[in-house]
Copies of this chain bind each other. A is one copy, B any other.
Amino acid sequence: MRGVSHQKWWGWGVEGVAFSHHDKPNMAPFVRERVGIDLDAPGSPPPTFEDIDVPEPRIGADLSATLTSAVGEDHLVTDDLDRVVHTYGKGLPDLVRIRAGDLPRIPDVVVYPGNEDEVRAVVDAAVEADAVLIPFGGGSNISGSLTPPAREDRVVVSLDLGRLNRVLEIDEASGLARIQAGVLGPDMEEQLGARGWTMGHQPDSFRHSTLGGWIATRSSGMQSDKYGDIADIARGMRVVLPGKVVALRPLPSTSTGPSVREMILGSEGRLGVITEAWVAVHRLPENRDIIAYLYPSWASAIAAMQEIAGSDAAPTVTRVSDANETAFSFSTQKVKKGASGKVQSVLFDVLERRGWDMDAVCLSYVGYEGDSAKVRAEKAVVGKIVRKHGGIKLGRGPGALYDQKKFDTPYIRDFLLDIGGLADVSETAAPWSRLMDLYFGTLRAAQEAFDSLGVQGFVMCHLSHSYHSGACLYFTFAFAPGVDGTEEQLERYWVVKKAIQQSFIDLGATLSHHHGVGTDHAHWLEEDISPAGTDLMVSLLRGVDPGRNLNPGTLLPAHREW
């Protein structure tokens, strides 16, 4: 669709960008030893589109005509590539399936409405025809929210919001902007930045995800400590339902009963199509710095993070990697030429002589924004806490590097798939008191899962998104499944993924801090919010969409669908 860009049909990001380890000499040895995957093994590149067997669209002439009159001929697409692009998100199971050409059910038609009236016409037509409607933003979902149910007999309509990509107005006095839901992160920040504003929301998916998608999945960005989660940022919104529009005005706070705003947040397409939102925006900061610190151990790092969260400093980013993630991160550095490489090696020697176990060190980033005095004061507060917990400051260099590379990580997954490795993530949040148990318990659960499969396996973790009462832990795991075949690989993947998710729930943490429920995490919903809490959600969804036309199958475990 002209003017609407999509990610690769088979993987993360855009054509022409891929991960390579050839300029990172320490990475292959690290991955071979620690993960059990040979990065130099002969790879199977992703399939060519011509090799994929794409089902014919099943859509009747009536609905086709109604949709065409809704959006115009140019904005209704049934070609194979477009429909395949709209079939999956970018979760690991999605990537494994698409690379295998596994397409049990794909959208029959993709429509690109250009305004809210057209969205209304599409929604009305789809529900009137008892079709299934799946809203689509950047397609970066990794919880299985975007895929039509395999056995769906009804027509499946994918509603791509990509043409709704404008910042409509800025209320400068209030720090609020009205923005269309289909805008991608970089485009939105460019429009805001041109007028001196920023939303400050930077999820890992930032380059390939949309405002509507963030709202629909309760997204959180790496600067959430300052800017808030999307649930804090999105103050008002418009949502299209059959025959009507939910219109919530931007309010700083309100006492109008059970929060409808907080029902739309996280609704993953089941409560309609979000067309626009009023979001909090901020003046571009005078200074912006990300400083790296190093801790001698995970325990000292977590203690420091908790103390920073409770301190008078209000950093934008608080992040610390465990020893595994730190080691992995160091292994992906490019060859350091000249002084800076030397400085690092000298520093590490010094620390080792001081008695540090360099296999246990944890790398941390803390972000600062504001005027010079505030940034200086906050750095002083954080510096004191870091020192108290035995850490040291590495300085601005690694922080700047992190800032540049932060959106690149997902590309590694596709590279690993090329050589038969499986990698994915699971993230959660819990009170501070539970974080250490949660961390070690989850590592143990993952290791037991690896052992049961007879594979080596690797897990690494970072803490990010600090709150008064707790924080997010974000786990990345990888292993060579040792089997071929989509189903066999996915079966092994699920052994590990399920062990990690179950550990979250068993140790008092949530099924997801910011990736959403989708179909992948729905299994744990009742254990997370209790069966009776799930009843409330079912009451809401069933009352709003009795025909199950709006993205059915996501959010709820299968036995709770009506």
The residues of A with any CB-CB pair to B shorter than 8 Å are: 171-176, 217-220, 229, 231, 235, 239, 241, 244-268, 271, 280, 282, 306, 310, 312, 314, 370-371, 373-374, 377, 429-434, 465, 467-472, 508-517, 525, 528-533, 535-544, 555
Would A176 and B250 count as touching, CB distance under 8 A?
Answer: no
- A469, B231: Cα distance in complex, Å: 14
- A239, B536: Cα distance in complex, Å: 11
Would A257 and B537 count as touching, CB distance under 8 A?
Answer: yes
Residue of B nearest to A373 (CB): B312
* Given A258-B540, A432-B174, A532-B241, CB of A467 within 8 Å of CB of B310: no
Would B540 and A510 count as touching, CB distance under 8 A?
Answer: no
Would A525 and B256 count as touching, CB distance under 8 A?
Answer: yes
Residue from A220, A260, A377 with most neighbouring chain B CB atoms (10 Å): A260
Task: State the oligomeric state as a number of copies.
Answer: 2
* Given A267-B258, A431-B174, A539-B539, CB of A251 within 8 Å of CB of B510: yes
For A373, list chain B residues within 8 Å (CB): 312
- A239, B529: Cα distance in complex, Å: 12
- A266, B374: Cα distance in complex, Å: 37
For A432, list chain B residues within 8 Å (CB): 173-175
For A540, list chain B residues within 8 Å (CB): 258, 263, 536, 539-540, 543
Min Cβ gap A94→B in Å is: 18
For A525, list chain B residues within 8 Å (CB): 256-257
Min Cβ gap A547→B in Å is: 14
- A304, B555: Cα distance in complex, Å: 45
- A430, B251: Cα distance in complex, Å: 5
Would B173 and A517 count as touching, CB distance under 8 A?
Answer: no
For A255, list chain B residues within 8 Å (CB): 217-220, 266, 510, 512-517
Would A266 and B258 count as touching, CB distance under 8 A?
Answer: yes
Would B266 and A174 count as touching, CB distance under 8 A?
Answer: no
Min Cβ gap A160→B in Å is: 23
A312 touches which of B229, B263, B371, B468 (Cβ 8 Å): B371
Residue of B nearest to A534 (CB): B260
Would A246 and B468 count as touching, CB distance under 8 A?
Answer: no
Would A259 and B256 count as touching, CB distance under 8 A?
Answer: no
Min Cβ gap A300→B in Å is: 15
* Given A247-B530, A248-B533, A467-B253, CB of A175 within 8 Å of CB of B262: no
- A537, B471: Cα distance in complex, Å: 31
Would A433 and B171 count as touching, CB distance under 8 A?
Answer: yes
Would A250 and B532 count as touching, CB distance under 8 A?
Answer: no
Closest 6 CB pairs of A and B: A539-B543, A262-B262, A252-B470, A252-B467, A174-B431, A173-B433
A263 touches which of B259, B431, B531 (Cβ 8 Å): B259
* Given A310-B175, A532-B241, A539-B540, CB of A469 within 8 Å of CB of B515: no
- A231, B173: Cα distance in complex, Å: 25
- A218, B260: Cα distance in complex, Å: 13
Would A529 and B256 count as touching, CB distance under 8 A?
Answer: yes
Would A250 and B431 count as touching, CB distance under 8 A?
Answer: yes
Would B251 and A470 count as touching, CB distance under 8 A?
Answer: yes
- A513, B253: Cα distance in complex, Å: 6
